Amino acid sequence: MIITTEQVLTALGHVEEPDLKKDLVTLNMIEDIRIDGHKVSFSVILTTPACPLKAMIENACRNAILHFISKEAEVSINMTSRVTTQSNNSLPGIKNIIAVASGKGGVGKSTVAANLALGLAKTGAKVGLIDADIYGPSVPIMFGLEGAKPRATQENGKTRIEPIEKYGIKLLSIGFFTDPDQPVPWRGPMVSTAVKQLFNDADWGELDYLVVDLPPGTGDIHITITQGFPIAGALIVTTPQNVALADARKGVGMFMMPAINVPILGVIENMSYFVPAELPDNKYYIFGQGGGQKLASQIGAPFLGQIPLVKGITESGDGGRPLILDEANPMSAAFIDLAERVAQQVSIVNARAPQSAHIQ
Ligand SMILES: Nc1ncnc2c1ncn2[C@@H]1O[C@H](COP(=O)(O)OP(=O)(O)OP(=O)(O)O)[C@@H](O)[C@H]1O
């Protein structure tokens, strides 16, 4: 039996990337085809290491070779990834900026941002996290970094800030530069300058994803960030109550304004229900039910899931070690799922963008 590269490409041309709705060959996702007798090997270049469809795509590729070429073929597939970006990126080295937003305060936006950043890193992506919540920066506490001061160096008359590395990601918080016991009486322009420095003056190096924890609501910082930097998309965190949903809708409205025009990656509902430890089969919908899903369908964005009200989330946040790092806790896997769904949406948005590109 002689197998040719053309046969392999034709067979894999029958495998569709379910999100991007095109076949893997057209999407340039197949590389390194090697054939040795009945042995066939190749690499599949996914758009993110956090791809939730990895196993499914691998199976489909194997089946395509066996079905279209030969049942006798021995197939070996290297599943790898190259995170996509949009080529109009004005921040060199940073492929995708993900803004995490909420209408109201206290709905768990920082909790989602921290666990999302760590979840993306756990799948193998290079990740940074900016805490731009000037009114209540939570990253120093959530990462056990109270009192930490990032190193700043002078380079050709310019200040370079070194992000702090913890748990495998790079971090900067506006809280590292303010006194935690003093209110921050900054005026709009000062806030705007400080936030821009977190992006422009920091040595982020190469990042696949830069997660940005925004302040609640809509304000100066939102305008500064959305107008100053290429945001891949915004993630909306809400709780199920009507009051939270009404505010979340306002937040979404801002991202959708023509002058801002940031795609909504999806809606995450936090504190969806409470499960008492002694009655693990009971779910109590304390704040109502179905609100996040309703918001997502009203704005035509994907609903990315529910996070229950869990004591461990508060404890781990307050204890400086986000819950996702505790692999024995079932919520850890739930946060990884969430990170995968968010990465999937970023890849979809990038593929739809006019100047989308597979850039290393
Ligand atoms: N699902 C959850 N279960 C239990 N506690 C939670 C959950 N989500 C968040 N919390 C806790 O609620 C509090 C507020 O969460 P967080 O700081 O993430 O909210 P936020 O929306 O970022 O608030 P703000 O922007 O107003 O600072 C924290 O103590 C956090 O640990």
Domains of the chain by start residue, with CATH: 5-81 (3.30.300.130), 85-357 (3.40.50.300)
Strands 169-173 and 127-131: parallel
Instruction: Give the mutation target among 111, 214, 239, 335 for probing the ligand 1 site: most ligand atoms within 8 A of CB.
Output: 111
The confidence score (pLDDT) of residue 184 equals 64
Give the atom of ligand 1 at the shortest distance from the alpha carbon of 105.
26
- State how far the Cα of 75 lies from the Cα of 40, in Å rounded to an integer: 5
Annotated binding site: 103-110
How far, in Å, is the centroid of ligand 1 from the Cα of 236? 14
| CA nearest neighbour of 96 among 71, 128, 123 | 128
CA angle 110, 88, 264 (to 5 degrees): 40
Cβ atoms 278, 307 nearer than 8 A: no
Phi, psi angles (nearest 5°) of residue 88 = -85, 25
Count of alpha carbons within 13 Å of 351, Cβ hemisphere only?
Answer: 20
At 78, which amino acid appears?
A: N
How far, in Å, is the centroid of ligand 1 from the Cα of 262? 24
Count of alpha carbons within 13 Å of 16, Cβ hemisphere only?
Answer: 5
Read off the pLDDT band of 88 (50, 70, 90). Answer: low
Read off the pLDDT band of 186 (50, 70, 90). Answer: low
Mapped onto helix, strand or coil, the DSSP state of residue 252 is helix
How far, in Å, is the centroid of ligand 1 from the Cα of 297? 24
Please report where in the chains the tokens 């304390």 appear, as a residue: 286
Read off the pLDDT band of 242 (50, 70, 90). Answer: confident
Instruction: Give the mutation target among 102, 104, 110 for probing the ligand 1 site: most ligand atoms within 8 A of CB.
Output: 110
The residue-averaged pLDDT of 238-259 equals: 87
At 91, which amino acid appears?
A: L
The confidence score (pLDDT) of residue 275 equals 84
Give the atom of ligand 1 at the shortest distance from the alpha carbon of 136.
27
Strands 127-131 and 303-309: unpaired
How far, in Å, is the centroid of ligand 1 from the Cα of 91? 30
Look up the pTM and report it.
0.92
Report whether pLDDT(169) > 70. Answer: yes
Report whether pLDDT(360) > 50. Answer: no
The confidence score (pLDDT) of residue 40 equals 96
How far, in Å, is the centroid of ligand 1 from the Cα of 60? 40
Read off the pLDDT band of 218 (50, 70, 90). Answer: confident
- Give the number of other CB atoms < 10 A from CB of residue 138: 19
Read off the pLDDT band of 353 (50, 70, 90). Answer: confident
Q: What is the mean pLDDT of the chain?
A: 90
Cβ atoms 72, 326 nearer than 8 A: no
The confidence score (pLDDT) of residue 359 equals 39
If 0-12 CB within 10 Å is exposed, 13-18 middle and 19+ buried, where does residue 185 land?
Answer: exposed
How far, in Å, is the centroid of ligand 1 from the Cα of 115? 12
Q: Which of 31-40, 139-148, 151-160 has the lowest mean pLDDT?
A: 151-160
- Type and span of the H or E element at 95: strand 94-102
Cβ atoms 282, 275 nearer than 8 A: yes
Using a 6 Å CB cutoff, which residues line ligand 1?
102, 105-111, 133, 136, 138, 216, 270-271, 307, 309-310, 313-314, 317
Report whether pLDDT(89) > 70. Answer: no
The residue-averaged pLDDT of 34-61 equals: 95
Instruction: Give the mutation target among 135, 314, 326, 332 for probing the ligand 1 site: most ligand atoms within 8 A of CB.
Output: 314
Percent residues over pLDDT 90 in the chain: 67
Give the atom of ligand 1 at the shortest distance from the alpha carbon of 311.
4
Contacts of 126 (CB under 8 A, 6+ apart): 205, 206, 207, 208, 209
The residue-averaged pLDDT of 130-142 equals: 90
Annotated binding site for ATP: 103-110
